[in-house]
Every structure is written in structure tokens, then in C-alpha cells.
Amino acid sequence: MKILFLHGWTSVPGGRKPTHLKKAGHEVLNPALDDDDFGLAVRTAQAEYDQHKPDVIVGSSRGGAVAVNMSSGDTPLVLLCPAWKNGGTGTTVKPNTVILHSRQDDVIPFAESEELIRNSRLSDDTLIETGADHRLADPEPLKAMLAACENLAWTEIERELLQSDWSGLCYTAAMRWAKDAKRLNWWLVHGTVFSGAMGKRIDHAWCEHRDTVVDLTMPVGSRVFSRATYYKTIQPDVTNRYSIDDVLFLSIRTRHDGPWDECERQGYAEVKSILDDPAISGRYLFPQDRTVEDPFVVKADGAELACFRRIVDPEAFTMIHFHGNGEAVADYVPFMADVFADMGLNSLFVEYRDYGGSTGEAKLVAMLGDGEAAMIAAGIEPEKAIVFGRSIGSLYAIELTHRQPNIGGLIIESGIADPSERFLTYADLESAGFDEADVKTEVKRFFNHKQKLSGYTKPLLTLHTENDGLIDISHAERNHKWSSSRQKQLVRFRNGNHNSIFHANKEEYLNAVGNFANSVQR
């Protein structure tokens, strides 16, 4: 796991406690905190937290006071003899907090931690008595600190996996960890290791995340290693590494947990999701060949996207537009570019692969990063952008706000809440050997709009007609509900259908978009 360790007054990074955590296989962030300026120390810690999003924060002595005064959401805290009365204004801690303190502490009284627990209305077992002095650097408190971090940071399912019996099931165990662990960037590794019991090298599977290795076939309590320790003692010889995308794809394709032979692996590097298979993408997407003159060409992962860009004021906001299925950028320019220009907005209309003069193949998952590539190519700052997604374009608009959370605003018109409902309508699963559960698993991984919108806090405008016979208005209601936006509006039009929503409600439609754009730019 990733741990942010905040040291005490006059201490320095790299002390015994963070070193102990690192030796246990965890990634430790250990910034130097200013001893004299408490506000600066908090800002330093906050910047480290915002950049790296640790799984748990450990604060020692004055570092505990820093942790109490940070904005750290629901990230767990482990506080070591916290000097919370010696800096800042924080007087309570969050529920997922553990405090370690020694009654023999002659620097920060044990009673102060008892008071902090009472202030926070937490149970007495939140405070653990350990150690013989303020430093908490002896084996017993170090062990307690590590246990507290792991108990707080591991999810329930991760703890279950770490405690289960996986004897003789290394491939299944590694697969389960790669799929179910909360970090989505674990690598599943296949290779050989030296077995002392058998006196020879054997085939094996384990998982890695940066400097951490998880091997579930090891004894319970000794399944998490630093990478250096694991490679020194187990002596692995790596044959293949698989990302979580590869793992899901191969397991669905082959119907087993590995190892996968060369024949089974063939093609997995080119196709990262079954959703990009012709049986799904090829049946759902309808590329159009209508083109624009003088396109703004964007290079995206080997493809060239024939986008359109208009600048009316280099300092103005930009509307980034994603059109619907069976449409092309050419259907929207110049007239929608003119509409946005009248609102004082620049515009960038993003074209999809194999649509409107773009090269490449139209694939649902492969195109997820194209909007971000277009925004970067155009030099648009996220804070000065409003993202607009119509119909299938909502998938890519929501993805862009997920990748760039500082986007100024989001407009979803005739959008999709659960894409599996749409994909399954058109997919030819039988020809590819897929089933509905496979599709739903992949949609949850790549197009989980509930999860993505729950992290979106900027302004949101949702537009939908009550007579949409293609994408029911319940999709709009769900997207609107899922968003954590503090400024959101759902506009329900009584006229028009999925394809005539704009022209049937033109005045009301443009008023809603114009008012939203004005509010975002204030």
C-alpha cells in the first residue's frame, strides 16, 4: 500500500518508523516538514497527499497534528503520540483512525490522546497503549503501527484474500488479487520461483505494485513483501507480466486463470477489452464518412482524428463536443460552432476513429483516451473547458471529466447511464463466445458512470427528452443522481425524440446551454 508518513518536530525523513513500513513492502512517502512554520508543514503534507493519494496517513507527534489539520477525505489515519494541542485548530479525528500512545510518554501526555478520542466520540479501542516512551521505536510499537496501517488500509475483501487458504492455487490466487484488490494497477506476474521444500524451481504466480509484492500462497501473516526482499529470498524468474486489462481479457477469452500459452496470448496486446471485439464494437458503432474542410488533426495512439476547432478568443472557455453514434463532426459545423461562438465560447469538436475522415478503427474502449489527447493537442486548460457529450458521446465526455477532474463544466445530452444496456441490444455474443456477464464485467470496469460521476463535483447540466425511445430518460435521471456536483440541473424536454431533441426544443435547449455556460464562466 501507499503510506504518507509525517514525521515529528526536529525529526527527518528516513527514520526508523518509515523505514520499518518500507521494509514491510509498502511504498512510503516521507516529505520533509518545516519545524518552525506549522502552516507550511500542513501545506507540504497536503500537496504530497493531493499528488499521490495515499492509502493511509501516519502522523508521528507533531506530524500527528499536521495530519489532524489536513483535508484527507476518508483516508485512514494512524497517529503516534499526536501533539494535536501544539499546532493547528483540529480537535477531532475521523472514525477510521487508530492512535498509538505510551503511558510513559513524558513529552505528550497520554491523557491528551484520551481527550482527542472523547472529542471525536470514538470508542476506547481507537486508542492503543503501546511502547515505553514518546519515540515508539521499539519492536512492539513498530509492529502495532504496521498492523494498524494494514488493518485500516486493506479493504474487507483484501483482508479476506490475505487470510484464505490458497495452497496449490497460485494462479487462481494471483488472479483473484489482481481482479479484486482496490488498486487497479497491480501487475499479475507469471514465472518460476525456487522451492526450498522441493529443491527445484517451480512454476508460480504472484502480484506486484511498484515496490510491493503479494504472494497469497505464502503463510498467513507473511504474504506481503518489499520487492527487494521477495526477489532476494524467493528468487523469481519472470516470464510474463500482465496488466489488469490483460488479465480480465485473457481470463474471459480462455475461461481459465492461467498460465496462458503463446497461442492464448496472441492478440491480447492489440485488444485490451472484449468490448473492442467486432462482435460488440463492430455491431454497435456506425462510422460515418462525412468530413469537414480543414480539420484540426489530432494524433491519438496511432490514429489521426479529423477534429474541428474554432477560436473566437484565446482567453475564453472552450466547449469540447462529442457527437452521437451514426453522426459526424461535419453534422455540427459550422452551425454549432457559430452557436457556441455567440455564447463567447471557443469550440473543439472531437471526431471518433474511422468517423469523418479519421483513421484507425472505431472501438469503444480504445477511444476512451482520445478526448484527452484532443484537449491536450489543442492546448486547452481543463479549468477553461466545458465538456459536452451527446448520446454515445456521453461515454467519452464523462471519461474526460474523470481523467481531468478540474474540467469547468459537463453537459450530458441524451446520455447513457449503463452502457451495457445498449451494447447488449446489438452485440453478437454467440459468435464470439461471450456471455452477458462478460459484457457487464467489462462495462463496469471501463464505463462505470456511477463511479466516475460520483467523483465529479463541478457544474453539471443534463438534457433529455421524455419521449426518447432509444435511450430512456431514466438514464438521465441516474446520471444526474450519481453526480456529486454541487451545482447540477436536469432539464426534461416534453417535445422531440432522441434525434429531434435539439430542433424540437431549440429555444429552451439553447437557453439552458447558454445559461449553464455563463454560470461556469463566472
pLDDT in tens, 166-206: 999 999 999 999 988 876 578 899 999 988 888 899 999 99
Is the per-residue pLDDT at 62 higher than 50? yes
Identify whether residues 515 and 367 lie together within a single domain.
Answer: yes
Structure confidence at residue 450 (pLDDT):
94
User: Residue 450: phi, psi to the nearest 5?
Assistant: -60, -45
Per-residue pLDDT, averaged over 431-440, amounts to: 87
Structure confidence at residue 184 (pLDDT):
58
389, three cell numbers: 457529450
Identify whether residues 393 and 460 lie together within a single domain.
Answer: yes
Identify whether residues 135 and 183 lie together within a single domain.
Answer: no
Identify whether residues 137 and 172 lie together within a single domain.
Answer: no
Helix (H, G, I), strand (E, B) or coil at 27: strand
pLDDT in tens, 86-99: 999 999 999 889 99
Alpha-carbon 214 to chain mean position: 21
H or E element that contains 309: strand 303-310
Q: Which residues of 8-37 are buried (b: 16+ CB within 10 A; e: fewer)?
A: bbebeeebebbebbbebbbbbbbbebeeee
Identify whether residues 375 and 500 lie together within a single domain.
Answer: yes
- Residue 317 located in a structural domain: yes
Segment among 225-234, 328-337, 422-431, 480-489 with least mean pLDDT: 225-234
Which of 235, 265, 295 marks a domain boundary? Answer: 265
| Domain, as residue range, for 390 | 274-521
- Residue 159 located in a structural domain: no
Identify whether residues 190 and 106 lie together within a single domain.
Answer: no
Give me the sheet containing 200-209, strands edge to edge: 224-226, 212-214, 200-209, 187-195, 237-242
| Average pLDDT of every residue of the chain | 92
Q: What is the CATH number of the domain that holds 477?
A: 3.40.50.1820
pLDDT in tens, 110-123: 999 999 999 999 98
- Express as a percent the part of the chain with pLDDT over 90: 74
Which of 265, 298, 331 marks a domain boundary? Answer: 265
| Cα–Cα dist 226/207, whole Å | 12
Which one of 68-77, 232-241, 273-282, 512-521 scores highest in mean pLDDT?
512-521
Identify whether residues 313 and 435 lie together within a single domain.
Answer: yes
| Cα–Cα dist 208/214, whole Å | 6
- Residue 62 located in a structural domain: yes
- Angle ∠(212,217,222) on CA atoms, nearest 5: 55
Assign 224 a pLDDT band (cuts: 50, 70, 90): confident
| Cα–Cα dist 386/493, whole Å | 22
Identify whether residues 300 and 179 lie together within a single domain.
Answer: no
pLDDT in tens, 344-367: 999 999 999 999 999 999 999 999
- Residue 211 located in a structural domain: yes
279, three cell numbers: 462482435
Structure confidence at residue 382 (pLDDT):
92
Identify whether residues 93 and 210 lie together within a single domain.
Answer: no
Identify whether residues 41 and 99 lie together within a single domain.
Answer: yes
Nearest to 257 by CA among 215, 205, 212: 205
What residue type is assigned to position 254 of the chain? T
Q: Please tell me whether the peptide bond between 334 and the residue prior to it is cis, using omega within 30 degrees of 0.
A: yes
What residue type is assigned to position 324 of the chain? G
- Residue 337 located in a structural domain: yes
pLDDT in tens, 456-490: 999 999 999 999 999 999 999 999 999 999 899 99
Is the per-residue pLDDT at 371 higher than 70? yes
- Residue 158 located in a structural domain: no
Segment among 68-77, 265-274, 364-373 with least mean pLDDT: 265-274
Structure confidence at residue 367 (pLDDT):
95
Structure confidence at residue 125 (pLDDT):
87
Residue 352 is given by DSSP the state P
Q: For residues 409 and 459, is the Cβ–Cβ distance under 8 A?
A: yes
- Angle ∠(22,31,65) on CA atoms, nearest 5: 100
- Residue 490 located in a structural domain: yes
| Cα–Cα dist 300/305, whole Å | 7
Identify whether residues 259 and 281 lie together within a single domain.
Answer: no
Is the per-residue pLDDT at 271 higher than 60? no
Nearest to 511 by CA among 521, 502, 500: 502
- Express as a percent the part of the chain with pLDDT over 70: 98
231 or 221: whose pLDDT is higher? 231
| Cα–Cα dist 331/286, whole Å | 14
15, three cell numbers: 527514520
- Residue 285 located in a structural domain: yes
Which of 129, 153, 177 marks a domain boundary? Answer: 153
34, three cell numbers: 518545516
Which DSSP string do the residues of 401-466 spell out, in sequence order?
Answer: HHH-TT-SEEEEES--S-HHHHHHHH--HHHHT--HHHHHHHHHHH--HHHHHHT--S-EEEEEET
Which one of 24-33, 118-127, 497-506 scores highest in mean pLDDT?
497-506
Assign 269 a pLDDT band (cuts: 50, 70, 90): very low
Per-residue pLDDT, averaged over 42-47, amounts to: 96
Identify whether residues 112 and 174 lie together within a single domain.
Answer: no
The count of structural domains within the chain is 3
Alpha-carbon 377 to chain mean position: 23
Beta-carbon count within 10 A of 275 CB: 27
Is the per-residue pLDDT at 246 higher than 90? no
